[in-house]
Amino acid sequence: MEKSKIYSKIIYNRQIEKELLPWIENYPAGKVFLATEETVNRIWVSKYNTFFESHGIKKIVIAAGENNKKMESAAMIWEFLSKNGGDRKSLLINIGGGMLTDLAGFAGTTFKRGIDFLNVPTTLLSQVDASVGGKTGINFSGLKNEVGTFKEPVAVIINTDFLKTIDKENFISGFAEMIKHGLIKSPEHLKELKEFNIENIDYDILQEVIRHSVNVKEYFVRNDLTENNIRKALNFGHTAGHAFESLAMRQNRPILHGFAVAYGMILEIDLSVKICGFPEKKLNEFTRWLLNIYGKFEISTIDFEQLYELMTHDKKNEAGRINFTLLSETGKIEINQNCEKEMILKALEYYRKL
């Protein structure tokens, strides 16, 4: 198995042991490790314990939940690798959702200045977004993904069987990132998402829909790995979305990432109408669709300043200006759109009144 030095190999396969084996055999004995989290370990990974143990793979299990995507958890993985003989020729297999692949990817890319890691995402959100694209990270000082790196996994194995055990909220959380991919690049993908039955999921059809969504993300990643230009398209909905997500954490009413992105997309489509001439009719259409799936995160006018302040921390900002990725039409992005505070507050008011 040839190791990819720049881009991940995206593998669509529902036979995990068969697909992992050539990767395991490509690394020295005793130098392959496994990171997962409690829930995934209980439901899925424990089924493969005999397989992993037969290949001498040691396992670390991290507590579940976004609140564990932190420096202390990364340090646990560093200590685990160090105590068990991890070196620069090691491979770290990460099996879990976006929290785990972000965290363990960060730990892997910083241990010994970087070891190879392979992601096996187990949620829809991680399959279409978090585990693909070479971003790793941890939350720090109350801010999401404040510390992280750009480093592609050697491979990502996507298997929709894992999605059979996630609840509806987590499924539609990932679905929001797929909607985003349709909005920024592919009206065809957007159409198949509108037609997809999220109440009665066909997992064979879903495997192909995921492939189409990942293809959109790969297009932007391949053309701009370190987010200097068009990869910023993937941040559509996220400048406002991360602010909603952080506010929800501060107010002790946390929301799933995809829900925050859905609310952020509503706000940023409204900004797109005002700044980039996006059709207002489509704003109304997409707002109804997103509200129907995700409901609404209630905010009041007293939250506006805090939401604005959270947007100022966005990593895409430059020279103190808040930069949005907006749309001029479905599938047509406009990056580096600077929005004045007054306009952002008006967009928040539009959202509040929905």
Give catalytic residue positions. 113, 135, 177, 217, 227, 231, 235, 238, 242, 257
**What residues contact 262, with CB distance under 8 A and at least 6 apart?**
176, 179, 237, 241, 290, 293, 294
Q: What is the 3-state secondary structure (H, E, C) of 81-101?
A: HHHCCCCCCCEEEEEECHHHH
3-state secondary structure of 255: coil
**What residues contact 155, with CB distance under 8 A and at least 6 apart?**
4, 8, 9, 10, 11, 23, 118, 119
Report residue 10: phi and psi, to 5°.
-95, 120
Is residue 107 within 8 A of residue 78, CB to CB? The reply is yes
Helix (H) or strand (E) holding 180: helix 168-184
Is residue 258 within 8 A of residue 241, CB to CB? The reply is no
Task: Of 255, 220, 222, give the one whose Cα is nearest residue 240.
Answer: 255
Within a 13 Å sphere around the CA of 54, how many CA atoms are in the beta-carbon half?
A: 6
Mark 14-26 as b/e (b = at least 16 C-beta within 10 Å).
eebeebbeebbee
Within a 13 Å sphere around the CA of 42, how many CA atoms are in the beta-carbon half?
A: 6
Q: Output the CA–CA distances (angstroms, integers) from residue 235 to 57, 73, 210, 304, 326, in the order listed.
A: 36, 26, 19, 21, 9
Report residue 197: phi and psi, to 5°.
-90, 100
